[in-house]
């Protein structure tokens, strides 16, 4: 049997691990809640913006801006959204797995299209470079809760590339936050812009279960533009210009939401991973404790029998 | 008029207001009750509004959009 000192040492390190993982679990849980709140706070804004778009695009004089129009697809940009740091369970690998599966399924259809990649998060960059994919750029530290300042450069980069035809379609693979216990990787086309796609992203920001789930009923916006009521709008400076500005803005909102959702998922995946880790540490600690007590007891028993044997020999 | 101002982080204002002043890219405008239906793009500046208690409120903004609906409702989305 192992010596009690050795077991004691192991016991101590296990309990230290337990403390650390427990602390990380708490931190991740708070961060998850906060990133969910941030995502939800931007919803009225997003709905108003969609409503705007519906109003303006129903005007006859407005032509849909370039971000909306479909063109022949020669090059596709894939955006992989992952975390910067590990210790988040299957969060990153599930995104990559989804990506691989998606590649395999659509291989036939896409064999004439060139593919380029954009990495959001350190892990995605590592993955893509390891697989020898053509990574055009990486963006890191969109971390805990993303801000508009952090999303701005990503959006500008994608839009600029789209405008000068570096790519004709943009697909994002990111994690959809279904509830605190369930996250799913999703593949979404974000460019060319599609009304319904944006509406879906904005609606999906509400988790299916949990604290914020009941918000789902309150908003039921209809995105079918109403022709009759919009004819007498005065539009400054011109419908075209407003629409162009709005299109880019909506695209920004969509990317912002996708990344926020990925943030929330990351934190909740990390929370789950840390919970499992501390449960395991607990279990291991109990087993070691039992072992320690047993070895201590057996040592005492041997000592007692030695003493009593010595006493018997004397008498 | 009914006024709501949304930003990405929170709802800045929601409720009754009597006057709403802002910078658009065409120049400074003030929206009063029963304004004509209008859609415009806001530029950087300060939004000044007078709420129903005759108190002035100010919000600095970077950019945004303004929509005045025919039924005396004003909605605006701004970026700070």
Measured CA distances, A286 to A10, A280, A290, A291, A293 (Å): 12, 10, 6, 9, 11
Please give the C-alpha separations between residue A53 and each of A29, A196, B61, B73, in angstroms, as whole numbers.
Answer: 36, 12, 21, 17
B31: domain CATH number is: 2.60.15.10
Q: Domain range holding A219? A: 28-270
Q: By percentage, how much of chain A surpasses pLDDT 90?
A: 19
Question: Distances in Å between the alpha carbon of B76 and those of A233, A240, A241, B32, B79?
Answer: 15, 19, 17, 14, 10
- pLDDT tens track for A203-248: 776 666 665 655 544 444 444 445 445 557 777 777 778 878 888 8
CA dihedral A49, A55, A61, A63 (to 10 degrees): 40
Query: A21: pLDDT confidence band, cut at 50, 70 and 90?
Result: very high
**What is the CATH classification number for the domain harbouring A253?**
3.40.1380.10
Q: Residue A294 pLDDT > 50, yes or no?
A: yes
The share of chain A scoring above pLDDT 70, in percent, equals 86
Q: Does A278 score more than 90 pLDDT?
A: yes
Taking an 8 Å cut-off on Cβ atoms, the answer to whether A42 and B9 are in contact is: yes
| CA distances, A86 to each of A32, A126, A144 (Å) | 16, 12, 13
The three-state secondary structure class of A223 is coil
Residues of B in contact with A51 (CB under 8 A): 75
Q: Helix or strand or coil: residue B43?
A: coil
> Where is A273: in which H helix or E strand?
helix A239-314
From B40, which residue of chain A is nearest by alpha-carbon distance?
A: A236
pLDDT at A59: 67
Q: What is the pLDDT averaged over residues A163-186?
A: 84
Structure tokens at A82: 């992952």
CB spacing of B9 vs A41 below 8 angstroms: yes
**Burial bucket for residue A144 (CB in 10 Å: 0-12, 13-18, 19+):** middle
**Mean pLDDT estimate for chain A:** 81
- Whole-number Å distance between alpha carbons of A24 and A48: 37
Predicted pLDDT at B12: 86
Question: Confidence band (pLDDT; 50, 70, 90) for A288?
Answer: very high
Question: Under an 8 A CB cutoff, do B8 and A148 touch?
Answer: yes
A94 within some domain: yes
The pLDDT of residue A23: 94
Q: What is the mean pLDDT of chain B?
A: 87
Q: Report which of B59, B30, B28, B62 is spatially closest to residue B46, judged by C-alpha positions.
A: B59
Q: Name the residue among B11, B70, B77 with its Cβ closest to that of A49.
A: B77
pLDDT per residue as tens digits for the range B39-64: 888 888 898 988 888 888 898 988 88
Q: A305 in a domain, yes or no?
A: no
How far is A184 from chain B, CA to nearest CA, in Å? 25
Predicted confidence band of residue A71 (pLDDT cuts 50, 70, 90)? confident
CB-CB contact of A87 with A24 (8 Å): yes
Q: Using an 8 Å Cβ cutoff, are A15 and A285 in contact?
A: yes
Domain count, chain A: 1
Higher pLDDT, A311 or A234: A311
Q: What is the pLDDT of residue A231?
A: 57
Question: Are A150 and A142 contacting, i.e. CB atoms less than 8 angstroms apart?
Answer: yes
The pLDDT of residue A77: 87
**pLDDT average, residue stretch B25-30:** 88
| Domain total of chain B | 1
3-state secondary structure of A139: strand
Residue A288 domain flag: no
- Judged by a CB distance cut-off of 8 A, whether residue A241 touches chain B is yes
- Domain of residue B21 covers 2-79
Helices (H), A118-220: 122-130, 148-163, 195-204
Cβ–Cβ < 8 Å for A172, A143: no
Considering only CB atoms, which chain A residues are within 8 Å of B38? Answer: 233-236
Q: Determine, yes or no, domain membership for A105.
A: yes
Kind and range of the H or E run holding B42: strand B38-42
**Cα dihedral A70→A72→A76→A81 (10° resolution):** 10
User: What is the structure's pLDDT at A27?
Assistant: 92
Q: What confidence score (pLDDT) does residue A61 get? A: 59
Whether the pLDDT of residue B5 is over 60: the answer is yes
Report the range of poorest mean pLDDT among A39-53, A192-206, A240-254, B50-64. A192-206
Test mutation, A46, A48, A49, chain B, max B CBs within 10 A: A48
User: Model pTM?
Assistant: 0.81
A87 CB-contact burial (10 Å; exposed 0-12 / middle 13-18 / buried 19+): middle
DSSP tag of A190: E
Q: What is the pLDDT of residue A221?
A: 47
Q: What was the pLDDT predicted at A211? A: 58
Q: How many CB pairs under 8 A join A and B?
A: 65
Of A144, A125, A123, the closest CA to residue A135 belongs to A125
Q: How far is B53 from chain A (nearest CA, A)?
A: 25
- Residue A204 belongs to some domain of the structure: yes
């Amino acid at each position: 049997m192992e010596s009690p000192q050795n077991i004691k040492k192991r016991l101590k390190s296990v309990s230290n691990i337990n403390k650390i993982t427990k602390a990380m679990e708490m931190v991740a849980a708070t961060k998850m809640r906060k990133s969910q709140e941030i995502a939800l706070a931007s919803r009225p804004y997003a709905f108003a913006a969609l409503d705007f778009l519906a109003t303006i695009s129903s005007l006859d004089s407005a032509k849909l801006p370039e971000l909306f129009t479909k063109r022949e697809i020669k090059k596709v940009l894939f955006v992989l959204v992952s975390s910067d740091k590990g210790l988040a369970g299957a969060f990153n690998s599930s995104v990559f797995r989804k990506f691989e599966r998606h590649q395999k399924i659509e291989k036939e259809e896409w064999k004439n299209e060139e593919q380029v990649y954009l990495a959001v998060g350190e892990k995605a960059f590592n993955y893509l470079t390891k697989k020898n994919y053509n990574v055009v750029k990486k963006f890191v530290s969109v971390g805990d809760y993303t801000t508009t300042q952090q999303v701005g450069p990503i959006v500008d980069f994608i839009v600029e590339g789209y405008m000068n035809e570096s790519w004709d379609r943009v697909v994002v693979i990111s994690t959809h936050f279904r509830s605190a216990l369930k996250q799913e990787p999703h593949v979404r086309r974000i460019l060319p812009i599609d009304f319904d796609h944006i509406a879906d992203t904005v609606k999906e920001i509400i988790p299916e279960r949990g604290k914020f789930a009941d918000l789902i009923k309150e908003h039921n916006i209809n995105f079918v533009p109403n022709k009759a009521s919009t004819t007498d709008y005065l539009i400054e400076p011109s419908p075209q210009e407003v629409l162009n500005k709005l299109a880019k803005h909506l695209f920004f909102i969509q990317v912002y939401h996708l990344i926020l959702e990925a943030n929330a998922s990351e934190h909740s995946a990390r929370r789950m991973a840390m919970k499992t880790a501390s449960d395991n540490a607990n279990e291991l600690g109990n087993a070691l404790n039992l072992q320690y007590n047993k070895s201590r007891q057996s040592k005492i028993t041997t000592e007692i029998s030695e003493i009593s044997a010595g006493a018997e020999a004397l008498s | 008029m009914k006024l709501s101002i949304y930003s990405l982080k929170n709802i800045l204002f929601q409720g009754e207001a009597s006057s709403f002043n802002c910078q658009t890219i065409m120049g400074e405008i003030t929206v009063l009750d029963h304004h004509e239906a209008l859609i415009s793009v806001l530029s950087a500046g300060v939004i000044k509004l007078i709420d129903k208690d005759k108190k002035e409120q100010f919000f600095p903004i970077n950019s945004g959009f303004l929509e005045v609906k025919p039924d005396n409702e004003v909605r605006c989305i701004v970026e700070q």
